[in-house]
Structure 1
Amino acid sequence: MKFRVIIFIILLSSYTSYSQITPDRLRNFIFNGQSTPGSIPPYPAEVITFYEKLGFKTAWIQQENIEDRNFLLTVLKQSANWGLQDEYYASDFLEEFCNGHLLLRNADDSMQREIRITGIAIHFYRSIAFGNIMPQLRYDGLDYQPACYDIPVLLANAIKTKSIQLLKEQLTPPLVEVNTLENKIKQLNARMSEGDFKEVVIASNKVNSNNTALVLKLYQLAILDSVSTHLPETSLKKAIREAQRQFNLLSDGMLRSTILEQLNVPLYKRLQQLSLSINYYRWLYCLIQGRTVIVVNIPAAYMNVYRDNRSILEMRMVLGKTSTPTPTLASKINKVILYPYWHVPISIVAKELLPLIKANPAFIRVGNFQVLNSAGKIMNPYKIKWQALNVKNFPYTIRQSTGCDNALGLLKLEFYSPFGVYLHDTPFKSAFMLNKRYFSHGCLRMENPMELGRLVLKAHHLAIDTLEQKGCLINHSPIAVPADDPMPVIVWYNPAGCDSTGRVRFYEDIYRKFHWEEKSAKKLVE
């Protein structure tokens, strides 16, 4: 009897707390900042917008809100399946509240809990829409912040119309990459949640079902549907080839050292790669709505050009060597240079050209180079005392004139960055056929530069047609064509993605930038 009285008193106290929260009282509470330390949610302006749309009615703590509150807890508990970490969204707090372990002592306490839950919900749905990890860019010339969804308004409408169950799908960017990566994350999480899961290391290169570690790892990677001890060799080789394609390797079905190294990467690291990547693509989504955006992924040595929800152009790239890495950046292409000069950076002059010139000044003529003094006048290379020059004493500029051997090819796309890099053509086309394409001094060589040039120039695309018809012309003056509408370019370092067939791809950490944590992926890139 005494126990029933206590329960009644608690319920009565909670009811009193709820009944005292009028719209006017909640409005005053929010605007007067009557909150305890640590209870102020993220995105306070969006919290205010949310309650304005609801007429300052409560959304979570009333009895009629139980269904929405419980659903929010459900999606938070599943956040790992979407490349998010549930500890970021205070799901433990919400679970205690939903299970009745967190009592509401008075009206102020109730309002604090109400507002905190709203903050959690906005934070979570922002992450679904925009990602919770931004690409780490060494130079950001765009100052872009994704905002193509009004999260508090959409959340408030979902509460009013009892349709919060549809909100996650509504806010998920409709990109192939997001869908593909999310499916892979779910598969790997399912494998890791199995009771007998353990990380395995493949020591044998035998391609048969007796290599149990191999079979198990292919199953864990969701390439095999089951762990079979009687798998035919043909089926096992097919699975290995699929793994090789996912890891961007030669798909011959052989267990070489390259594929063994990739297979022996722990599964939790693969999940962190996928989680980082999916959040990068969420971040990108708003930027590509209604405009054309160039995205170069350094670990993939690949370019995709996006507009709205799809890639409209893609090509292989040649990027910087590990000693001269291509920098991450965000900028805008402002002009296209036809028949560009190559002004050789002093670092390349000192390390590579100067020793050759000192050995034989005819190297200048053979390589179609010119030597300019500080006034821009072309100098006679045979009258320069080359032996007296070095990196600290070099009062000249060396440039390569136009022609078939020009290092920049026929076309250069310029954008501002502090690194002196740009997108350009190249006469060395054979490098695009290689899996590892890291040979430049940091610039970005394009496989199909003319196609991108046409996209950038739009109305002036006929200039590209003329360029192709004339081909390489020796000692032609450069022609600068301004871009009609400066096109954003993102150069990021993304560890995973998917190809045009919808296959997940994991990329080699070519510059050794990632520092994966054993259990978390809070900040994974330098």
Structure 2
Amino acid sequence: MINPSVTGRWRLARPVLLAAALLATAPAAAQSDLSLSVSPFRQAVAENLNGDPAVASFYRARDFEPLWTGSGEVYSARRAALLDALSNADAHGLPARSYDASGLVARMSAARSADERAAVEIALSETYLRFARDIQSGILEPNAVVSAIKRERPERDADALLARIDAGDARKVLRDLAPDSLEYTRLMRTKMLLERTISLGGWGMPVRARALEAGDRGDAVVALRDRLVTMDYLPPHLGTRYDERMETAVRQFQQDHGLEVDGVAGPSTLSAINVPPEERLKSVIVAMERERWLNLEGGRGDRHVVVNLADFHAQLIDDGKTTFRTRSVVGHQDRDRQSPEFSDVMEHMVINPYWYVPRSIIVDEYLPAMRRNPYAHSHLDVIDSSGRVVNRGRGFARYNSRTFPFSMRQKPGPENALGTVKFMFPNRYNIYLHDTPAKQLFSRSTRTFSHGCIRLQDPHEFAYALLAPQQEDPERFFQSILQTGRNTTVPLEQNVPVHLDYRTAFTQAKGNVQYREDVYGRDGAIWRALADAGVALRIGQG
């Protein structure tokens, strides 16, 4: 049974469990019907194996012996454990109704013939596999919901999943299917707490004001006070003035929601404060689905980089701990400029990089001006297919977006669009992390200004952290190359997995749950797809 401190009140559905045991505890006459000779049952199983090929393979390998519907305590315990897990699937944000635990119970209690028992046997295995895949790898196919999510669910071997039930304690096997990350555990706890909050009436009335600040009084201040109290940002009190206590609470709320931290409840802050707990609960359930998509065999890497596009930060993680964190700028909200989500492996960094201009920028932004004036954008070299610089004097008026045969690049230097260093994890999307001369953009709370790549506020410090395992003095090593001004590739002796992710809800080891704006609208699309798949809010069940 899962620890109640993690999942809340994990309720045993007693009627379901009693019905689950019917095959093992039926009266003697019924037992006789259920315990038909092995040969008819095996034959019936073989004849009913027309669904999941993995299930068919598993049963052929075991000579069509039952996994679930045999007689005795072992089989009864397996059925009970499965039905219990299915009945409580919504604790994980899964569509419990789609597994139809009550329907399986009805079929089990009615099974008398070998054919009926075989059909139940296969249905139990197929339902178990569907549940196991959903809880381990996610309900949705990510790219089918949002095309910019360039990742696939991490599939598990079906034969191995069935074999685990056959060889182990079914209740433990089922309990261990969920991702074992601390983030998933904390998200489950957050889900339970939000459900309880909603069942008790939520966070109270929204705050009706355009802006509130220190010294203000009135009904809106009282509403803000009450809402901050129910959100646990402020201890209960009867004050009616926007005082120092309220300003401190607002600052903490702003920090937890990625807002400008100034202690003033302006439009953005009040908009976030007025978001109902039901919407936050949806964000948490989406985050749990996203955590399942990253439930990779072998993990995400002892050392890895995570970029949360919705949080505008990049982090270096070592053995589960954040060892470096910096602000980032990500792709613009325009659909063709949004940063994609995927995982790859960082292999090297380039110090004093050239910037090779993406083809889309060349033909959409630069070529129109160069057709009128061949010396437009003269800070960029025009390069032919052999890498030679093209003489601009011949002009470009005869070319259009389809026929322009050249590429363009910017030399290394302080004004280079990539700054002084870029971090490469070769991928088909031509996305990487890099420096930028546009440092002023990092002061914004919403940082969606790039064409898709990830700009870092502190790229040199990031480079030092990456080089630390292979250089005794990584800063001196990096700076010695930088000062030459020469384009230099530095391999990483230890390749580092990079995960570009997008979380509007995420947790911390210590402190409050963090929420961010859905700047790309992706989590909204994922929630709608989850709802279409049968996921529902457990309102009133907290």
TM range (shorter): 0.7 to 0.9
* Counterpart position of 2:8: none
* Counterpart position of 2:36: 20
* Counterpart position of 2:3: none
Q: CA shift at 1:334, angstroms? A: 4.1
CA contact (8 A) 1:346 1:391 kept: no
* Counterpart mapping for 1:99-114 below 5 A: 102-114=109-121
* Counterpart mapping for 1:63-142 below 5 A: 66=76, 69-94=79-104, 96=106, 102-133=109-140, 135-136=142-143, 138=147
Match of 1:413 among 423, 436, 441: 423
* Counterpart position of 1:179: 185
Match of 1:246 among 242, 256, 262: 256
* Counterpart position of 1:445: 455
Deviates more, 1:388-397 or 1:323-332: 388-397
CA deviations on 1:49-91 (whole Å, 9 max, x unpaired) are 9x95997453687677555544443433332222222123223
* Counterpart mapping for 1:223-302 below 5 A: 223=232, 239-287=249-297, 288=299, 292-302=303-313
In structure 1, what is the Cα distance between the partners aligned to 2:29 and 2:241?
Answer: 67
* Counterpart position of 1:339: 352
Match of 2:433 among 413, 423, 427: 423
In structure 1, what is the Cα distance between the partners aligned to 2:480 and 2:187?
Answer: 42
Structure 1, unaligned runs of 5 or more = 1-9
CA contact (8 A) 1:333 1:486 kept: yes
CA contact (8 A) 1:305 1:314 kept: yes
The one-letter code sitting in structure 2 at the alignment partner of 1:20 is L
Q: CA shift at 1:184, angstroms? A: 0.9
1:151 aligns with 2:164: no
Q: CA shift at 1:192, angstroms? A: 3.1
Count of paired positions:
495
* Counterpart position of 2:48: 34
Secondary structure of the structure 1 residue equivalent to 2:286: helix
CA deviations on 1:251-281 (whole Å, 9 max, x unpaired) are 4444322123234444333222211212222
* Counterpart mapping for 1:370-385 below 5 A: 370-379=381-390, 383=393, 385=395
The one-letter code sitting in structure 2 at the alignment partner of 1:34 is N
Structure 2, unaligned runs of 5 or more = 1-25, 536-542
* Counterpart mapping for 1:356-375 below 5 A: 361=375, 364=378, 367=379, 369-375=380-386
* Counterpart position of 1:471: 482
With over 3 angstroms needed to count, the CA separation of the structure-2 counterparts of 1:249 and 1:458, relative to structure 1, is: closer
CA contact (8 A) 1:76 1:89 kept: yes
In structure 1, what is the Cα distance between the partners aligned to 2:72 and 2:389?
Answer: 81
In structure 1, what is the Cα distance between the partners aligned to 2:529 and 2:207?
Answer: 20
In structure 1, what is the Cα distance between the partners aligned to 2:197 and 2:458?
Answer: 40
How large is the RMSD of aligned CA atoms in angstroms?
Answer: 4.5
* Counterpart position of 1:6: none
With over 3 angstroms needed to count, the CA separation of the structure-2 counterparts of 1:201 and 1:113, relative to structure 1, is: farther
* Counterpart position of 1:322: 333
* Counterpart position of 1:4: none
The one-letter code sitting in structure 2 at the alignment partner of 1:111 is A
In structure 2, what is the Cα distance between the partners aligned to 1:217 and 1:231?
Answer: 13
Secondary structure of the structure 1 residue equivalent to 2:48: coil
Deviates more, 1:223-232 or 1:13-22: 223-232
CA contact (8 A) 1:176 1:502 kept: no
CA contact (8 A) 1:41 1:120 kept: no
With over 3 angstroms needed to count, the CA separation of the structure-2 counterparts of 1:172 and 1:356, relative to structure 1, is: same
Secondary structure of the structure 2 residue equivalent to 1:285: coil
Q: CA shift at 1:215, angstroms? A: 6.6
With over 3 angstroms needed to count, the CA separation of the structure-2 counterparts of 1:354 and 1:303, relative to structure 1, is: same
Q: CA shift at 1:326, angstroms? A: 1.6
Q: CA shift at 1:311, angstroms? A: 4.5
Scaled by the length of structure 2, the TM-score of the pair is 0.73
In structure 2, what is the Cα distance between the partners aligned to 1:523 and 1:63?
Answer: 33
In structure 2, what is the Cα distance between the partners aligned to 1:46 and 1:311?
Answer: 44
* Counterpart position of 1:7: none
With over 3 angstroms needed to count, the CA separation of the structure-2 counterparts of 1:185 and 1:408, relative to structure 1, is: same
1:491 aligns with 2:497: no
In structure 2, what is the Cα distance between the partners aligned to 1:54 and 1:232?
Answer: 74
In structure 2, what is the Cα distance between the partners aligned to 1:458 and 1:54?
Answer: 56
With over 3 angstroms needed to count, the CA separation of the structure-2 counterparts of 1:471 and 1:140, relative to structure 1, is: same
* Counterpart position of 2:538: none
* Counterpart position of 2:10: none
Indicate the percent of aligned positions where both proteins have the same amino acid: 23
CA contact (8 A) 2:434 2:454 kept: yes
* Counterpart position of 2:540: none
The one-letter code sitting in structure 2 at the alignment partner of 1:321 is H
With over 3 angstroms needed to count, the CA separation of the structure-2 counterparts of 1:486 and 1:170, relative to structure 1, is: same
With over 3 angstroms needed to count, the CA separation of the structure-2 counterparts of 1:473 and 1:129, relative to structure 1, is: same
CA deviations on 1:281-300 (whole Å, 9 max, x unpaired) are 23323353555443322212
CA contact (8 A) 1:292 1:305 kept: yes
Q: CA shift at 1:313, angstroms? A: 4.1
Q: CA shift at 1:401, angstroms? A: 0.9
* Counterpart position of 1:192: 198
In structure 2, what is the Cα distance between the partners aligned to 1:342 and 1:157?
Answer: 56
With over 3 angstroms needed to count, the CA separation of the structure-2 counterparts of 1:231 and 1:119, relative to structure 1, is: farther
CA contact (8 A) 2:151 2:342 kept: no
